[in-house]
Structure 1
Amino acid sequence: MKSSEQIAEEWGLSKITINDLCNKGKILGAVKQGRKWLVPDDAVRPADGRVSSGKYAKKKDGKTRPLPIGVSDYVRAQSEYYYVDKTLLIKEFLDQKPLVSLFARPRRFGKTLNMDMLRVFFEISAEDTSKYFVDKAIWKCGEEYRKHQGKYPVIFLTFKDVKYDSWESTVAKIRGLLQNEFGRHQELLSSSELAEYEKAYFSKVLNGEASAVEMSEALEKLSQMLAAHYGKAPIIIIDEYDTPIQEGYSKDFYDEIIGFMRNFFSGAFKDNKNITYGFLTGILRIAQESIFSGLNNLTVNSVMDDEYDEFFGFTSSEVRKMLEYYGVADKEDELKDWYDGYLFGSTEIYNPWSVINYISRGCIPQAYWVNTGKNEVLEDVLTIATDDITERLYALLRGEKVVARIDQNVVYRSLAEDPANIYSLLLVAGYLKTPKKELQADGAYLCEVSIPNREIASVYKSEILSHLMQIGAITRTTANMIAESLYANDIKKLQKAISEYMDKSISFYDAGAEGFYHGLTLGLIALLDNQYRIKSNRESGDGRYDISLIPREKKYPGIIMELKWKSGLEEAELEKLSIDALGQIDEKRYDLELKEEGIENIIKLGIAFSGKKVVINAKQSVL
C-alpha cells in the first residue's frame, strides 16, 4: 500500500485530488487509516475516473493476438502475432535508393525483424509472397513500389548469435551460417550459367569444408553466381554485423575477427558490380579499424539521423494503438516513464522489446531490455572511470543532463585510449539519449546527454553496485545489512552497515573528498533506490543538505546525511567533526523537506572522514 502523498507524486496530481477520488470510491481497494488514505500498489492513474488492476483485458471476442516476444521471422510475426507495421521502411529506401545502407541501432530494437521483412519483400520465391504485404502500408503506396516485390535474389546472414569465447568457435559458427545460406540457393548447383569451378567452390562451402580464407570470399562469389544465374544482381542483407567484432574485443581475438570481416565485407560491397542493394545493421556506426575501408558507396544511418527514424522501435502513436488493442490504455503514463525517452533523429521512440514484455506480462514494470544481455559497455566504463566520468555518472543518475562530445566512429578498443569516448559508446548502445545536439566541423556532435528512462536508470544503478562488490568496496553482506536495518528500523545496525560500507569504499577510492563523495553516493543510490528517492545538494530549511533519502513507502525511515572531510585528523578530532556534522542538520533544519513530505521517522547521520578513517554519529527523531 502507498500513501496518498506518494500516489499524488507518481500520478502528477495533488494530494487533495487523490483524497477526493478515495472519498468517492473511485480508487478500488483504497483504505483509510486515521486521517490518511492508503492506496493499493497496483493502482494506476485513471484517464476517465476508473482504475485498472494492472492486468490487461482481452477483447470481448477473445481473439487478441499474442505479442511477438523474440520473434524475428517476418512471415510468422505478421500472420500469427500483433505486428506493428514497419513496411514503409521499404518505401523510404526505394525513394532514396542508396546502394549500401548501414542502420546503427541498439540491440532488441527490431533490426532483425526489419531485415527479414526486406528479404521477404524483395526475394524471388516459388511462393507468391505478395500475400504477406497486401494488407500492409507499403502496398497502398502504388505500383511504383509493388513492382519490386519478389524480383531479386537475396543473400541474407544474421550474426546476432555469433557470441563465442574463441576465434576457432567463431569461425565454426560463421561456417555454419554460410552453409545454411548457400543451402537456400542450391538451384545454382544445376545452373547452366555457372562454370564447374564455381560449382566446386559452392559445394565446398555447402559441405562445410571451406577454410577461413575461402569463407572470406563467400559473399563476393555467391553474389557473382546469383547474378549469373538470374540475370539480376542480388540484394545482400547482413544483420548485426558487429556482434562477432564485439565478442572479439572482449574475448581477445579482435585482430582475427577484424581481419576476416574486412575481407568478407570488402568483397561483398566494395566495387562489387554484382549487387543491386546492400543492407547492414549493427550497434556501432562503423568500425574504426576500417573494415569498410574505401567503401564510398556506404550510407550510414545512426540514432543521430532523421532518416528512417520511425522504423526501429515504437513511436508514441504505435504504442497508444497497442495499449488500446489490449485494453490497457490507462497504462500509458507508466509505460512512457519506464520505456520511452529514446531519441532517434528528432523522433521520440519506445524500446519495443520492453513494451511488448510489459504488456504481455500483465503490465508489470521491470527492466526487461537490460536483462537480455551483458552490459559490457557499463562494465568497461566503470573499470576506467576517472573522477570526471564518475561525477557525470552521478549527475546522470540524479536525472540531470551533462555535456559530452559524441563521436560515432569509436569502437570498444578506443575506450582505453580515451575514456571520454564512453559517452559515444553509451549512446549507440542505448544507455543515453541526446535531447540537444550540435554538429561540429569534424563530424562529431557536441551534445547534452541524459538517461532515457527508468529502465535504463535501473541498469546504471545495478551495474554500479555490482562493480562496487567486484572491487571489494562493498560486500553482499553489507548490502543486505543496510537493507535489513532499514526494513527493521534498526538505527544501530544501519550505522554499523554504513560505517562498514564507507570504510571499504575509502579503502578503494582515493582519499580525496570529491572522488569519495561520488563513490559513496553512487553506491547508496544503487543500494537503496528501490526503497528511496535519493536527492543531493538540495535546499531545505536554512541551507543545502548533502544527501537526503526520501522513502517510497512509509515503513522506511527518512534519512538525512551531512558529510564532512578534513585531512590529517586524529580520532578525537574526527569524532568532533562528525558531531558537528550531525548538529548542522538540526541547526540548518535540513529535515524540513522530509517533514513536509509527511515523513515522521527521520534518521540523521553526521559522517566525517579523514584519509582512510571514518566516524559516523546518528540521531533519530520520531514525530
Structure 2
Amino acid sequence: MKKLPIGIQSFEKIRENPGEYYYVDKSSFVKELCLQGGGYYFLSRPRRFGKSLFLDTLRQAFLGKKEYFKGLFLENNWDWNTSYPVIRISFGSGVFRSLEELKEAQEEILVRNCRDNGVSLPEAPSLRGKFLDLIEKLHKTTQQPVVVLVDEYDKPILDCIENKELAVKIREELKNLYSVFKDADAHLKFVFITGVSKFSKVSLFSGLNNLNDITLDARYSHICGYTHDEVEEVFQDQMISVNREKFRAWYNGYAWLGEKVYNPFDVLLFFDKKEFQPYWFETATPTFLIQLMGKQQYFVPSMEDIVLGRELIGSLDVDMIYVENLLFQTGYLTIKEKMPGEGMIRFRMGYPNLEVKYSLTNYFLNYLVQDYRKKEIIRSSLYTCFEQENPEAMKDLFQSFFASIPHDWYRKNQLAGYEGYYASIFYCYFAASGFDVKAEDATSHGRMDMSVFYKDTVYIFEFKVIENSTKGSAMEQLHKKQYHRKYAKEGTCIYLIAVEFSEKERNIKNFTVEKPAIP
C-alpha cells in the first residue's frame, strides 16, 4: 500500500518518490494561470489547504523540472525548453513577535534566494533596494524575466493581530517590501501571492493595480483542496469501507463560488486514523477570534445561515476587524450561494461541515465555562434529557452552568443583558454535542429562536431577558406565532420551551415546557 503524505511535504520531495505518495494533480491550474503570458495573482485560503504545495508546483514548472511532472497534466502541456529564475518568499515558519524579527527574516529570505539562484547579495543599503536589485540582476544574467512566489504573505501581521500598534508597524514594513513589485514590473514574468487573510490593496499592495484576486473566482475554486471526485478517484482503495455520506458531512463543504472541496489535511489524517475527528480544526486555536466574538456580542447561532455583503467578507485590515470577516477567511464560515439580485453583491454563508460546527461551538463553550469537567458533565446529561424525553430536566443543568460562570467574566464582557448571549449558550451546547439544531428557523409566522431535533421529537425554544419584557412573554410568543405548526405532522412529538433570564441574577428565572394543542 502506498504511504500517505501526512503533513506538509514539498512538491519536489513527493515527485522524487512518486510511488510513496498519493498525489492529486493540480498542475492544470499552472497552465491556466499562464495562458495570458503571465501576470500578478493573489489567492486567499485558510490554513493547511495546500497553498505551499501549489507554490512548489509553480516553482518546479518555471524552473523547467519536467522530470517532476511525469504522468501529470503539465508533462505534455508546458514549454520545457524555457526556464525562468524564481524568487520564493515564505513567512510560514516561526512566529513574528517584533519588527526586528521580521526584518531579520526578510534578510535571511533574501540571502537564501541569492544562494539558490547563484548570485551575490546586492549591495543596496535598504532591504527594499536589495530585493529590487536582485530581481534586476536575475533578469539581466539569465535573459529571462523573473518569477516571484510569496507564501503566507500575511502571517507576520496575523501573529501579532492582538497588538494593534505592532501589527500596524509590521504591516507598513511588509508594504514597503511588496511595493517592489510595482517598480520591478519590467523585470517580472509572473507573481503569485498566497495567504490566509485578504488585506486590502490600499493597506499592503498600494499601486499594484494589476493584481488579479482569484480568491472568489469560480474557475479556481478547487485550486487548493480536494473535490469529491478527486477523492473518489485518487483514494479509491481507501474509500472502500468508508461511510461516504458521513465522510462528506464531516469534511466536505468549503466553497469559493465554485465546486466544494475537502481540506487535504482532514482527508489524509482520516485515512490514516480511520476515525471521524476534527483534525484540521485542532491544528490551530482561534483564541483571538473567540474573544472578538464575545467582545462584539456575536450571535453564534447566526452562523447556521447568514447573509453578508462582499465588502464584509472581503478585505481585512488591522484598523477594521469584524467577526464575520475573520470567520470566513479562516475557514469557519464558507459561501453557500451567491444571492441573486442587482446592485449590492450578497452571499449566503454557513458552516462548511460538521467538523467546524461541532468544534467551533465546543471551543466557544470552553471559552465561557473555564471548568471543562462541568461542561462535559452537562453535555452528557443533555443526552439523558433527550433520550428520556424529559426537557424539564434541562432547567437544572443550564442553571448550574450559568451559576458556574464567574461574575468577573460578565463585568469584562458586559453580556448579562444581551438576549443573544443566552441563546448562544444553549445553541453551542446542542451543536457541540452533535444534536440537529436550527437557529432562527423560518416559518410562515416568523422566525423561531431555535429548534432541536432528536429522533421523532422537536423542541422549539424561545428566549427572553425578563428585565426587557414581562414574565411569561416567551411562552406567549410561542403560542401567538404558532411556530409548531411547521412540524405538526403524524408521528412527531413537539415541545414548546420558554426560557426567561434575569440580567441581575445572570441566570434562568423561568423555564416553562408545554406540549402545544395540534388540531
**TM-score range relative to shorter protein:** 0.7 to 0.9
- Aligned residue in 1 for 2:290: 379
Q: Per the alignment, in what secondary structure is the counterpart of residue 320 of structure 2?
A: helix
Cα distance change on mapping 1:234 and 1:439 into 2, 3 Å: farther
Measure, in 2, the Cα distance between the counterparts of 1:448 and 1:423: 12
Residue 564 of structure 1 and its aligned partner are, at CA, apart by: 5.5
Measure, in 1, the Cα distance between the counterparts of 2:415 and 2:312: 30
- Aligned residue in 1 for 2:421: 519
Measure, in 1, the Cα distance between the counterparts of 2:170 and 2:53: 25
Amino acid at match of 1:140: N
Cα distance change on mapping 1:270 and 1:379 into 2, 3 Å: farther
Measure, in 1, the Cα distance between the counterparts of 2:381 and 2:212: 57
1:348 matched to 2:260? The reply is yes
- Aligned residue in 1 for 2:79: 146
1:79-105 deviation line (CA, Å, top 9, x unaligned): 231010111112102212332222222
Cα distance change on mapping 1:596 and 1:446 into 2, 3 Å: same
Structure 1 unaligned regions, length at least 5:
1-63, 190-197, 202-212
Measure, in 2, the Cα distance between the counterparts of 1:499 and 1:384: 23
Q: Report which stretch shifted further, 77-86 or 163-172.
A: 163-172
Structure 2 unaligned regions, length at least 5:
none
- Aligned residue in 2 for 1:294: 207
1:450 matched to 2:350? The reply is yes
Q: Per the alignment, in what secondary structure is the counterpart of residue 534 of structure 1?
A: strand
Amino acid at match of 2:61: F
Q: For 1:170, which of 102, 106, 109 is the aligned residue?
A: 102
1:188 matched to 2:119? The reply is yes
Question: How do 1:186-335 residues align onto structure 2 when only pairs under 5 Å count?
Answer: 187-189=118-120, 214-252=126-164, 253-302=166-215, 304-328=216-240, 330-335=242-247
Amino acid at match of 2:157: I
Residue 155 of structure 1 and its aligned partner are, at CA, apart by: 1.0
1:366-412 deviation line (CA, Å, top 9, x unaligned): 222222123256325404424xx52xx41333xx3434444565224
- Aligned residue in 2 for 1:21: none
Measure, in 2, the Cα distance between the counterparts of 1:266 and 1:568: 54
- Aligned residue in 2 for 1:435: 336
Q: CA RMSD in A?
A: 4.2
Measure, in 1, the Cα distance between the counterparts of 2:90 and 2:484: 61
- Aligned residue in 2 for 1:92: 32
Structure number with greater Rg is 1
Residue 605 of structure 1 and its aligned partner are, at CA, apart by: 6.4
1:568-622 deviation line (CA, Å, top 9, x unaligned): 89xxx96xx59988x98xx9999x98994699xx9x966443442443457899x
Measure, in 2, the Cα distance between the counterparts of 1:459 and 1:221: 48
TM-score (norm: length of structure 2): 0.80
Cα distance change on mapping 1:176 and 1:312 into 2, 3 Å: same
Residue 281 of structure 1 and its aligned partner are, at CA, apart by: 1.1
Cα distance change on mapping 1:180 and 1:271 into 2, 3 Å: closer
Amino acid at match of 1:105: R
User: Are the equivalent residues in 2 in contact too, given 1:481–1:493 (CA < 8 A)?
Assistant: no
Cα distance change on mapping 1:588 and 1:94 into 2, 3 Å: closer
User: Are the equivalent residues in 1 in contact too, given 2:257–2:338 (CA < 8 A)?
Assistant: no
> Percent identity over the alignment?
22
Measure, in 1, the Cα distance between the counterparts of 2:116 and 2:72: 26
Residue 461 of structure 1 and its aligned partner are, at CA, apart by: 0.7
Cα distance change on mapping 1:282 and 1:269 into 2, 3 Å: farther
Question: How do 1:520-559 residues align onto structure 2 when only pairs under 5 Å count?
Answer: 520-529=422-431, 530=433, 532-535=435-438, 549-551=452-454
Measure, in 2, the Cα distance between the counterparts of 1:71 and 1:105: 15
User: Are the equivalent residues in 2 in contact too, given 1:284–1:411 (CA < 8 A)?
Assistant: yes
1:70 matched to 2:7? The reply is yes
User: Are the equivalent residues in 2 in contact too, given 1:482–1:494 (CA < 8 A)?
Assistant: no
Q: Per the alignment, in what secondary structure is the counterpart of residue 249 of structure 1?
A: coil
User: Are the equivalent residues in 2 in contact too, given 1:531–1:551 (CA < 8 A)?
Assistant: no
User: Are the equivalent residues in 1 in contact too, given 2:313–2:328 (CA < 8 A)?
Assistant: no
Amino acid at match of 2:509: V
Q: Report which stretch shifted further, 521-530 or 495-504.
A: 495-504
1:482 matched to 2:378? The reply is yes
Measure, in 2, the Cα distance between the counterparts of 1:91 and 1:312: 15
Cα distance change on mapping 1:412 and 1:293 into 2, 3 Å: closer
Measure, in 1, the Cα distance between the counterparts of 2:475 and 2:167: 55
- Aligned residue in 1 for 2:53: 113
